[in-house]
Amino acid sequence: MADNTIDPPEDDTGDARPGRRKLLLVSAGLALVVLVSVALTAVLMFAFQEDPPTPEPKALIQTPDSLEKADTQRLDALIQQQAETIKQLQAQVQKLNEGQGDESLKAAMADQEQRYQAFLVTMKEGMVDLANMVRGSRTWLEQYGARLDEAIQNSKAREQALLSRAESNSEAR
């Protein structure tokens, strides 16, 4: 009996898939096109690149006279700026020595004492309200109420001392 099967033709590369060879050739061609375009772009960029302008030799060389003038001008500007700063600081020191700064500080401290007193009075009123709400808290209110009264009196004394110093300084002028 004769064998009627047909043998497939064998590829001379030994590949069983003929499409693989085409894929390899197309990939190699694309890679070659990309490499050529990158190389061509690089060559064109370097060829058409503008050279930086070269300065004239005279501009590069500075004479000692021109350097001294530039340095002297910068130093004069710095000295003038420092002199203005010194004048401003001297005026501030003079104001403080004359007591002008003391008055504003004393006024601010007196205002702060008044606000502190208002806070203490409000806190004491809140303590009285709380003591009225809770049974058996009268002893607690008496103990801490006395401390708040003392703090309020001390604050009033500080305020009076500040105001009397401010008045004595204004009369001394």
Structure tokens at 57: 């030799």
Please list the alpha-helical segments (H only) found in the chain. 18-47, 57-60, 64-98, 100-133, 138-172
Largest CA distance in the chain: 144
Cβ 152 vs Cβ 121: under 8 Å: yes
Q: Where are the domains of the chain?
A: 66-98, 99-173
| Minimum mean pLDDT range among 6-15, 31-40, 49-58, 128-137 | 6-15
Query: pTM of the full predicted structure?
Result: 0.41
Q: What percent of the chain has pLDDT over 90?
A: 20
Sign of CA dihedral 164, 170, 171, 173: positive
The pLDDT, as a whole number, for residue 153 is 94
Is pLDDT at 128 greater than 90 in this prediction?
A: no
**How many beta carbons lie within 10 A of that of residue 11, not counting itself?**
11
| Minimum mean pLDDT range among 5-19, 33-47, 112-126 | 5-19
Q: What is the mean pLDDT of residues 141-148?
A: 86
Q: What is the mean pLDDT of residues 45-74?
A: 71
2-26 pLDDT tens trace:
556 665 555 555 555 678 889 999 9
Cβ-proximal residues to 145 (8 Å cutoff; 6+ apart), any chain: 124, 127, 128
**Which of the four pLDDT bands, split at 50, 70 and 90, describes residue 70?**
confident
